[in-house]
A and B are shown apart, each in its own frame.
Chain A
Amino acid sequence: MKISVARRLVIPAAVTGTLLMLLLPAMPLLAAAAAQPAGLTPWWVWVLALFVFSFVLGIVAVLAGVGGGVLFVPIVSSFFPFHLDFVRGAGLLVAMAGALSAGPPLMRKGLADLKLGLPMALVGSISSIAGALVGLAMPAQNVQLLLGIVIISIAAIMIKAGRSGYPEVSQPDRLSQMLQISGLYYEEFGKHEVSWQVHRTPLGLVFFFIIGFIGGMFGLGAGFANVPVFNLLMGVPLKVAVATSGLVLSINGSAAAWVYLFKGAVLPLIAVPSIGGMMLGSKIGAKMLPKVNTRTIRLIVITILALSGFRSLLKGLGI
């Protein structure tokens, strides 16, 4: 028992400490280097730093239960010398690649549900294209300012929003009945089957339209918003909500990514190491997940998110 308690305390502290040792001291150094005139720091230093940074973010994102995209854009745009356009383009691809690679096992288990995800993705993908077009047409400073506001709001939502493992849905709404949105999955933790149905589907569609727009505009993966809408608003069990959020995110991200590709806002030099680092880090994070106290890490990540949002806000204000 004592060993188990020690493991629960020591391992998370060690993991968090190591990650912070890597992340936090690097931030001012990167910020200072990013402020230097272009060309003083060799390009490969930035690319290597981006890979390492994305790798660490990938681990932290999984342990904190947040999408990599939502951490990537505010932090990289604050501490690297790349224009926000390219960071948003890479951020969308990072979020999309993570969702795609995690997808197959979740679909086979019946956790990621096509009937639940497709109608939401349809409205979300249309608005994410609109969001990407608006975001790329706006002056970068305004986008940076809005990004700061959105990121600080996300941090607040993450602190405030609760989660419900198995929400009660006494009566499914008519639209969800028409769309036959319901399901059954096997809960491995409790060794029992869970059947689910949903309500408030029309309101859910409105929310997914708004979330798609924000995701496309800022290049964020929108898991932070998809999951509460599925779980708390529509009554989807948490595991199905998280898994189906990835499906929606991959479709919305794909639609918005084309806008960034056609507008020249995707540089493979930046995007590929970000995707590679984040995917590798996510795999390691997933292996560490059962062994660590994720609450502590989640709190630290929310703090980092809020700080990077604050920095975006200041950059947007020209301070």
Chain B
Amino acid sequence: MTDKPREGGYADRVQLVYAKTLDYVAHSVIVVMAAGYFLYLTGMLPLSVPIETIAGNWHLSAANMQAKLNLPCGWGCFTSPAGILHGDIMSYISVIFLSLATLICLVSALLVFFSEKKHLYSVITILQVLVLLVAASGIMSGGR
């Protein structure tokens, strides 16, 4: 028992590295999302599918909307370089960035676990990164 917090804090190095990475990534995500949505709504960039068309079909299931409008999904938005320069695609890419945030943090933690020779947690983190990579590859979802 002590009435003062100990010097150096209570988080070990891997926690501090994860927190620092998360801080950068979370702030970047907020900026990228706001910028992407601004481009989407203001029409500063052309849209691949007009907002009115999306709104007219958002009562449909994802599969039916996909069949009708062929919206970008997964990494499909990166198939043509010219396609990226659309407001709605930019906003979609910001959502992809959000989904990648945890993966980036886990990789930073993995590097620390490696350097500190914490083998068990290196393995657990590698497995976790693999699970996220498999999810992000779209193999499980039949994606492209």
Contact = CB atoms under 8 A, between A and B. Distances in A.
Contact of A191 (B3, B60, B106): B3
A100 B101 contact: yes
12 contacts: A82-B59, A86-B58, A93-B99, A96-B99, A96-B102, A108-B15, A110-B10, A110-B11, A122-B127, A254-B99, A266-B73, A267-B71
Chain A contact-residue range equals 35 or more
Contact of B132 (A103, A115, A255): A255
Interface of A: 38-39, 43, 46, 81-83, 85-86, 89, 93, 96-97, 100-101, 103-105, 107-110, 112-115, 118-119, 121-122, 125-126, 129, 133, 136, 140, 178-180, 183-186, 191-193, 250-251, 253-273, 275-276, 279
A39 B18 contact: no
Contacts of B30: 101, 279
A97 B11 contact: no
B138 interface: yes
B70 to A, nearest CB: 9
A107 B22 CA distance: 10
Nearest to A106: B19
Q: For the complex, would chain B's binding face be called helix, strand, loop or mixed by DSSP majority?
A: helix
Q: Which of A96, A119, A269, A271 has the most chain B CB atoms inside 10 A of its CB?
A: A269
Given A39-B56, A85-B61, A129 B131 contact: yes
A268 B94 contact: yes
B21 to A, nearest CB: 9
Nearest to B137: A258
A46 B51 CA distance: 12
A259 B141 contact: yes
Nearest to B2: A193
A97 B26 CA distance: 8
Contacts of A260: 62
Nearest to A269: B54
Given A254-B103, A276-B37, 18 more contacts: A83-B58, A96-B101, A109-B11, A110-B15, A122-B128, A136-B63, A183-B10, A184-B10, A191-B3, A258-B74, A258-B99, A259-B135, A260-B62, A268-B36, A269-B40, A269-B51, A272-B40, A276-B33
Contact of B131 (A100, A125, A262, A263): A125
Interface string B1-41: 11111100111001110111011011001100110110010
Nearest to B16: A108
A107 B18 contact: yes
Contact of B136 (A108, A258, A263, A268): A258
B36 A118 contact: no
Contacts of A270: 58
Top 7 nearest A-B pairs (CB, nearest first) are: A262-B143, A110-B10, A43-B55, A262-B141, A107-B19, A268-B91, A265-B62
Contacts of B96: 261
Contacts of A257: 98-99
Interface in B37-67: 37, 40, 51-52, 54-63, 65-66
A180 B119 CA distance: 12
Contacts of B82: none
A186 B138 contact: no
A185 B2 CA distance: 11
A124 to B, nearest CB: 10
